[in-house]
Structure 1
Amino acid sequence: MKYEYRFKNKELGEACFTIFGREFVLDEIEQQIPDEEDFINLECDEWDANNKLFNAHIEFSKEEIEKALVYDSDDWNLYPEVEPPEEGKYLVTVRLLNGEVKTEMDWYYSADDCWANNSSDEILAFMSVPTPYKPEKSE
Structure 2
Amino acid sequence: MPAVARRSRLDLPKKFKEWSAKLHEMNQRRVQQREWEARLKQLNPEVKAIQELFDRHMNKSKENEFLKTVYLNALEKGAVNEEAIMEELAKAIHKARPDIPQESLGEVAQQEFGKLKKLIDHTFGKNADYKQRVANIHQIMKGEFGD
TM-score range, shorter chain: under 0.3
More helix by share: 2
TM-score, normalised via structure 1 length: 0.26
Give the structure with higher Rg (CA). 2
Q: Which has the higher contact order (CA 8 A, sep 6+)?
A: 2
